[in-house]
Amino acid sequence: MDRQTSAIVGETSSYEKVQIPPQVDLVIVLGGDGTLLSVARITHPFDLPVLAVNLGTLGFLTEFTPQDLYEKLDKVLRGDFQIENRMLLNARLWRGSRKERDYNVLNEVVINGGALSRIVNLEVHVNDQYMTSYRADGLIIATPTGSTAHSLSAGGPIIHPRMHALVLSPICPFALTNRPIVIPDDSEIKVMLATVSEDIRVTLDGQEGCDMKKDDVLSITKAENCIQLVKSPARSYYKVLREKLHWGREITDDPN
């Protein structure tokens, strides 16, 4: 029995996760949003449909429940399904003329300090035009998909996933007039660290990261490929917002 056959019948496969996308036509993700974020970073170059089943607690991104998996999977295998493309960001960290890191993320890129760090100074350029300098605990650059994640907790707006936009949300800015800003998704954002600190990190989807040093430049653009999420016909984006953010619930408790 070869390894591909053994994987089908339920035996242990010896394939590493990164080896799977080039060999398959469909990826099924069992887990929560965090699991899907990690899978998105390795599948997007291969234009694969991703069917995400929610085994977690929040489930903003995972479209299907375990109860309807087999019914929906049967339709998907027959070609009866719809795809929703979700934009990713490409983030490259430059140290002088040398590219130190190159990442792709589905939700957001976050620049912030450690527990003992002071306010950081981040100089931001958009399409090579100076925009502003943030003195803040950090900065979040989010996709529309990521607008309901870390960016939302920092006061950023919710952006529909089909919008062609990015949002920059400062974290606890020193100046109250520094507010989140939405810009076109074909923009190139360059963030330079102007603070001398030993504890500034770039975090990708809350799962990977690297150190950022003074005068490093983080360049962020829309990635060339999208992630293709298989959509559930019974699940609208607005229904997800109502359920997960508890919108429109009647107040039943007597305030008196």
Would residue 250 count as lying in a domain? no
d(Cα 251, Cα 256) in Å, to the nearest integer?
Answer: 13
Tell me, yes or no, whether 144 and 189 share the same domain.
Answer: yes
* pLDDT tens for each residue of the chain, 256 residues long: 344 433 444 556 678 888 889 999 999 999 999 999 999 999 989 999 999 998 877 778 888 888 888 888 888 888 888 999 999 999 999 999 999 999 999 999 999 987 666 789 999 999 999 999 999 999 999 999 999 999 999 999 999 999 999 999 999 999 888 999 999 999 999 999 998 776 899 999 999 999 999 999 999 999 999 999 999 887 889 988 998 888 876 555 544 4
Hey, which residues are catalytic here? 33
CATH number of the domain that 112 lies in? 2.60.200.30
Tell me, yes or no, whether 65 and 183 share the same domain.
Answer: no
pTM for this structure? Answer: 0.88
Tell me, yes or no, whether 171 and 231 share the same domain.
Answer: no
Tell me, yes or no, whether 230 and 218 share the same domain.
Answer: no
What beta strand segments (E) does the chain contain?
27-31, 49-54, 82-86, 89-95, 98-105, 108-113, 120-126, 129-136, 138-142, 165-171, 181-184, 189-193, 200-204, 208-211, 217-222, 227-231
Q: Between the CA of residue 114 and those of 3, 46, 62, 105, what are the distances in Å?
A: 44, 35, 31, 21
d(Cα 165, Cα 142) in Å, to the nearest integer?
Answer: 9
Tell me, yes or no, whether 78 and 193 share the same domain.
Answer: no
Would residue 231 count as lying in a domain? yes
Q: Between the CA of residue 111 and those of 32, 134, 142, 187, what are the distances in Å?
A: 24, 11, 12, 18
Would residue 254 count as lying in a domain? no
State phi, psi for 161 to the nearest 5 degrees.
Answer: -65, -15
Tell me, yes or no, whether 94 and 218 share the same domain.
Answer: yes
Tell me, yes or no, whether 212 and 237 share the same domain.
Answer: no
Tell me, yes or no, whether 10 and 113 share the same domain.
Answer: no
In the chain, how many domains are there?
2
Tell me, yes or no, whether 211 and 239 share the same domain.
Answer: no
Tell me, yes or no, whether 194 and 108 share the same domain.
Answer: yes
Tell me, yes or no, whether 111 and 79 share the same domain.
Answer: no
CATH number of the domain that 25 lies in? 3.40.50.10330
Helix (H) or strand (E) holding 36: helix 33-43
Would residue 48 count as lying in a domain? yes
Q: Is 139 helix (H, G, I), strand (E, B) or coil?
A: strand
Domain of residue 119: give its range. Answer: 89-222
Would residue 251 count as lying in a domain? no
Tell me, yes or no, whether 159 and 121 share the same domain.
Answer: yes
Would residue 168 count as lying in a domain? yes
